[in-house]
A and B are shown apart, each in its own frame.
Chain A
Amino acid sequence: MIRVDDLSHAYDDELVLTDVTLRLPRGQVTALVGPNGAGKSTLLSAMARLLSPDSGRVLVDELAVADAPADVVARRLAVLRQDNRVAARLTVLDLVRFGRFPYCQGRLRQEDHRVVAECLDYVQLGELRDRYLDQLSGGQRQRAFIAMVLAQETDYLLLDEPLNNLDMAHATAAMQLVRRAAEELGRTVVVVLHDINMASCYADRIVGMREGRVTVQGTPAEVMREEVLSDLFGLTIPVHRVGGHLVGMHWAPGPVPAAAG
């Protein structure tokens, strides 16, 4: 379980997280949703100790991520940020091998090579393993980075807007990959998403944030309701049941309710 206790953080005196307390159970896919500037990415960064919050703490299975040894945390949780601009010319294989760094410090053993090969196959990049990252399409590159964090073999996987810049087909493929990682590999996934319908279809649990606070959380059935969504996004979003899924038609909103401003 990921425990977030009283987390607050400010950038230049502007509060981006205010007393966030959260419990995320193991073995589930949790989606973080909310409007821009709600603090989703900041919360994810704090969970992954990429940012040290002004106050509060994050425990992952009783391990305090901010204070624990860096390599211990790296074997417990892996994080993928949204901006994976490639500053270096590395091959897909180089990148995925780095996922084993917390285990072997760069000297891969047989076990590490096996995991790397499995992860490459898992994201279907086995054939492109010797390509340079800058020769891949956006979708392929995103899969290569996902393979790297999978190769870290962590119980927890934190993904910050992994669907950014992906077209519909690639975005769907990436979410299916995330779903399978949870079901087949038993990973606990926390994923920041912009599209509430992706959250509704692929997450077990949705956490809604607005202005630095968690305003709502629950199963997709509990969160995908017109009054909840209009509170969260300040937009009337008609919700319909389509093929067993709750779908919010955010592209065809109703009038903005006065209460949400």
Chain B
Amino acid sequence: MLLAVVSVLSLSIGVVPIPPADLLSPTPQQWQLLTVSRIPRLLAVLLAGAAMSVAGLIMQRITQNSFVSPSTSGTVEAAVLGVLMATLLLPGASLTAKMAVAIVTAVLGTLVFLQLLQHIRYQDPVVVALVGLMYGGVISAVTVFLAYQRDLLQLLEIWQTGSFSAVLAGQYEPLYLVLVVGALGYLFADRFTVVGMGREFATNLGVRYTAVLYTGLVVVSVMGAVVVVVVGAIPFLGLIVPNVVSLFLGDHIRRTLPATALAGAGFVLGCDVVGRTIRFPYEIPVATVAGVIGAGVFVWLILRAAQRTAP
């Protein structure tokens, strides 16, 4: 409901405002603006928001850690490194080819993080989150160094800071891939939940733990990489949205996945609308708005967790 209202807002706001009343019977000029820019932008926002949140949800369950997400485990950073490498090594490559490289590096980056997790002595969720942030930082350092050497720092900015201002028809369509992997994720919802109860629990129920874990890894990495390549990284999204939804609905993925997707889409849409209005007619990237709000919610979640573990 709220999502619908904000969606209408999103369609009307812009350098050329379209009054909500005109949305139903636009002039040809307005119609062109809508189909080329506003509607693609809205769809991109909804898809990216839903994808990053669902990716976080699946990741948190299969690793049994509520402070793990694509942006705190190297997935996003590895995807950025991948797309940069693709740009450097295969200059003429299409967006699809670059995306494929980013997906591969995202899978590898996440895999390394999962291996790292098994060697950490303190399995405290907060420690794991901090290790993930540091690990992402290391990958980012490599990426920035490469970009600096090749004078591509500005290009890097596009992937590191998510923004929807450049979304136009004909350019955002790869995002639809997240619908496909999202459907796969929903199909595996029960298995992810079972795996989230531990290896022995899953084995007892005849669920193949390792196979499901890797399926989850691929789903998460594809979602993360596609969003990074098309719109750029949106910080904290995959971390806070699933956690807040879980407070209300628990951890059964079949129940929480649709709600998480909706809430993520709504949150990013809200951030995007805010980013477009507070410095009108200029824009603040959605990543900045989401970062400011997300950091606050993240700190609140950590304090809450710390209170619960040490009463």
Contact = CB atoms under 8 A, between A and B. Distances in A.
B204 A87 contact: no
A122 interface: no
A209 B251 CA distance: 40
Contacts of B193: 88, 90, 94, 98
A102 interface: yes
Contacts of B61: 88
B157 interface: no
A68 to B, nearest CB: 10
B203 A88 contact: no
Interface string A83-102: 00011111100100011011
A50 B202 CA distance: 10
Interface in B141-161: none
Contact of B207 (A70, A94, A152): A70
Contacts of A48: 203-204
Interface string B185-207: 00001110110111111011111
Given A88-B64, A88-B193, A89-B246, A74 B204 contact: yes
Contacts of A45: 200
Contact of B203 (A49, A94, A98, A132): A49
Contacts of A88: 61, 64, 193, 196-197, 250-252
Q: Label chain B's interface by main secondary structure.
A: helix
A70 B208 contact: yes
Indicate the member of A91, A94, A102, A132 with the most B CB atoms within 10 Å: A94
A81 B254 contact: no
Nearest to B199: A50
Contacts of A132: 250
Contacts of A81: 200-201
Interface in A90-141: 90-91, 94, 98-99, 101-102, 105-106, 132
A80 B205 CA distance: 11
B206 A87 contact: no
Contact of B194 (A78, A79, A98, A149): A98
B5 to A, nearest CB: 30
22 contacts: A45-B200, A48-B204, A49-B203, A50-B199, A50-B200, A70-B206, A70-B207, A74-B204, A75-B206, A87-B197, A87-B198, A88-B252, A90-B193, A90-B250, A90-B251, A98-B190, A99-B205, A105-B190, A106-B189, A106-B191, A106-B254, A149-B204
**Which 4 pairs between the two chains have the least Cβ-Cβ distance?**
A74-B206, A106-B190, A71-B206, A88-B251
Interface of A: 45, 48-50, 69-75, 78-81, 86-91, 94, 98-99, 101-102, 105-106, 132, 149, 152
Given A87-B64, A88-B61, A94-B252, 9 more contacts: A48-B204, A69-B206, A70-B207, A74-B205, A75-B206, A88-B64, A88-B250, A101-B205, A106-B189
